[in-house]
Amino acid sequence: VVVVVVAVVLAVTLRKGKYTFEDRILARCEKFKGSDCRLIWAKFQKAYVGRDPCNVPMEAYDDFIAATQFKPECNRMMFWSKTKDVVHDFTEKRDCYVTLEDTLLGSVADGLTWCGRVGSSETLTTGCPRWTDCENNPVRSFWSRASAAFAEKACGNVTVMLNGSIETPFSPNSTFRSIEVKKFDATVMRSLNVVLVTQTNSVSNCTNASLKDLQKELAAGIRYSCKEVSEAQIRECSSNPEKPCGACW
């Protein structure tokens, strides 16, 4: 019995040690056929390896962004703010819209934490700065840079899901407001269509003051619309594949 227990513990430990951060990034990358995942990994880690984890600016990921060669899918791009769960439940189950996290650019890092250390060539996954600990941390800078790249390419009719259960759905410190809206380009983007996700006790509607700000901050020439849609209705569309995308709201 002792031998078996020791063997099992050893096997589990060795196996656990086998899946490094690099393996996880490569495995996620390889789901996107035709990508040079070794190159992408090299450019990704170059951004933060050997650096102070509070001194990694978003520009550190420029070469990574260039290596992913992101191709936009016009009329299907979906942005979001404070609605992560409902949006991704929808995009995972239905092939209607594409979020940053569904693309190679965002999916390699979604949900992960990483950083480097001065004098080391390793990637650490524990003891890294949290989102607000310092602004120029590897994770936050990654999302800022990837979001800028995704928004810059936004084309045709673009959708964003905002949260109607909070007072300020177009939230000042959000990535959507502080980075993405600023990058929208009127020469390639036709409209921004807000889907305000409501619940039975929602506090906001399409007349919300922050949504007025959104219209003002949008580059001239980009049309704007807003529609209140219940979370229940979105969930229903997620689980009904026979419903056409255009009939979801």
The footprint of ligand AVW (CB under 6 A) covers 79-82, 84, 100, 131-132, 147, 150, 174-176, 180
Which residue, 173 or 201, has its beta carbon nearer to ligand AVW? 173
Distance CA 102, CA 72 (A): 12
Distance CA 5, CA 185 (A): 60
Taking the complex as a whole, the smallest distance from the CB of residue 241 to ligand AVW amounts, in Å, to 24
C-beta of residue 158 within 8 angstroms of C-beta of residue 189? yes
Taking the complex as a whole, the smallest distance from the CB of residue 75 to ligand AVW amounts, in Å, to 16
Q: What values do phi and psi take at 197, rounded to 5?
A: -80, 115
- Catalytic residue, chosen from 54, 74, 96, 134, is 74
74 assigned to active site: yes
Based on its alpha-carbon atoms, the radius of gyration of the chain, rounded to whole angstroms, reads 20
Taking the complex as a whole, the smallest distance from the CB of residue 77 to ligand AVW amounts, in Å, to 9
Distance CA 128, CA 7 (A): 33
Taking the complex as a whole, the smallest distance from the CB of residue 39 to ligand AVW amounts, in Å, to 24
Which residue, 88 or 243, has its beta carbon nearer to ligand AVW? 88
E-assigned strand segments in 51-123: 78-81
Which residue, 45 or 103, has its beta carbon nearer to ligand AVW? 103
- With both helix axes pointing from N to C terminus, report the angle between 21-30 and 37-46 in degrees, rounded to the nearest 10: 140
Which strand (E) or helix (H) includes residue 151? Answer: helix 138-152
Which residue, 43 or 82, has its beta carbon nearer to ligand AVW? 82
- Catalytic residue, chosen from 29, 37, 115, 155, is 155
Active site residues: 74, 155
